[in-house]
Amino acid sequence: MDLTVVEYEKKGGIAYVTLNRPEKLNAMNNALHEELGNVWADFRDDPDLRVAILSGNGRCFSAGADLSGGTPAEGYAYTGEFPDITQTQNVFKPIIAALHSHVVGYGLWIALDADIRIAAEDTSFWLPEPQWGIATIPCAWFPRILPWAIASELLLQAGRIDAERAYQVGMINKVVPMDQLMAEAEKVANRICELSPVAVQGMKESMVRASALDYAAVDQITNQVQTRVMNSEDRQEGGKAFAERRQVDWPGR
Alpha-carbon 213 to chain mean position: 21
DSSP annotation of 93 = S
Model pLDDT, residue 197: 93
Decide: residue 172, CB within 10 A, 0-12 exposed, 13-18 middle, 19+ buried: buried
The larger pLDDT score, comparing residue 78 to residue 145, is at: 145
Report the alpha-carbon distance of residue 110 to residue 100 in Å, rounded.
Answer: 13
The per-residue pLDDT for 95 is: 97
Span 93-109, mean pLDDT?
95
Q: Where are the alpha helices (H) located in 91-196, listed in sequence order?
A: 106-113, 142-145, 148-156, 163-168, 181-193
pLDDT at 134: 67
Distance CA 218, CA 235 (A): 22
Q: Average of pLDDT values for 65-91? A: 59
Least Cα distance to 122 among 80, 198, 180 occurs for: 180
For residues 209, 135, 33, 90, the Cα torsion angle rounded to the nearest 10 degrees is: 0
Residue pair 128/158 in contact by the 8 Å Cβ criterion: yes
Distance CA(82)–CA(175), nearest Å, equals: 31
Q: Is the pLDDT of residue 77 over 70?
A: no
Between residues 25 and 132, the one the model is more confident about: 25
CB atoms within 10 A of CB 6: 24
> Are 125 and 161 a contacting pair, CB within 8 Å?
yes
Estimate to the nearest angstrom the gap between the alpha carbon of 239 and the chain centroid.
31
**Which uninterrupted H or E stretch holds 235?**
helix 233-244
pLDDT over threshold 80, residue 50 = yes
Please name the residues in contact with 238: beta carbons below 8 A apart, sequence gap of 6 or more: 196, 199, 248, 250
Contact 138, 85 (CB under 8 A): yes
233-244 vs 215-230: helix crossing angle, rounded to 10: 60
Average pLDDT for 68-78: 49
Q: What is the separation, in whole angstroms, between the first and last Cα of the chain?
A: 26
